[in-house]
Amino acid sequence: MVQRVTIAPQGPEFSRFVMGYWRLMDWNISARQLVSFIEEHLDLGRHYR
């Protein structure tokens, strides 16, 4: 199971995968590649609840 991180006392709670997304713009990939990457993760269930 993926470890979850709570970012405030009353939530929200995110998977560690999501917490890494804040660096996506540093990857220098196209908007199309970025959307594809995020959609693939959503398909795998790697998203916040």
Backbone torsions φ then ψ of 25, nearest 5 degrees: -70, -20
* pLDDT above 60 (res 46): no
Query: Does the model's pTM come out above 0.85?
Result: no
Encode pLDDT of 6-43 as tens digits: 888 888 887 766 666 777 888 899 999 989 988 887 78
Mapping DSSP onto H, E and C, the string for 36-47 reads: HHHHHHHHHCCC
CB under 8 A, 24+ apart: contacts of 13-18: 13/48, 13/49, 14/48, 15/46, 15/47, 15/48, 17/41, 17/46, 18/46, 18/47, 18/48
pLDDT at 49 over 50: no
Domain parsing of the chain, residue ranges:
4-44
